[in-house]
Amino acid sequence: MAIREILEVPDARLKVVSAPVEKFDADLRTLVADMFETMYDAPGIGLAAIQVGVAQRVLVIDLQPEDPDAAPEECHAHGGHSHSHQPTKREPMVFINPVLTPVTEDETVYNEGCLSVPEIYADVTRPSAIHARWQDLDGNAHEADIDGFLAICLQHEMDHLEGILFIDHLSRLKRSMVLKKLEKIRRAA
């Protein structure tokens, strides 16, 4: 396992549409292991393969903090209200070739952030429940109706596979303000 570099805006690779995974082999297992190690190191709760420069339809998510005494990890999507995640052990989830379909017209607004857009957060509106189909590391098919925080995170990560960042959901003016703020943070660092 290795920690890989996380691409950040304005890296053009973040705009690439990822290709389906066709080989469920040792290389895929290494990629997934590296993605988890990279995500935990960041620290984050979700990561798409394209964020580490691999244009394949692979997502990893873990909504649980590692340390039982730790506060909930902040990352890709976090609510504008407090979440009472009970600290528990890690629950890593892998989604390969995911397909998401909204199952409700109800929407949820979450204050999202992203490892590829560091230190920037903005409200994004998404369907509150989805139907997901995906494959696991062995290529086995799965499907489930998903809602709540996991649904928000999955949609956020799925956007990465389509070359979309959460800031692309913002108005042109808000996106411009966010990118100027990010540039200011980088200059100060």
Active site residues: 157
How far is Cα of residue 128 from the mean position of the Cα atoms in its chain?
Answer: 16
Biggest CA-to-CA distance, the chain: 47
Residue 107 near residue 88, CB atoms below 8 Å: no
Residue 104 near residue 129, CB atoms below 8 Å: yes
Distances (CA, A) of 39 to 47, 73, 185: 6, 11, 22
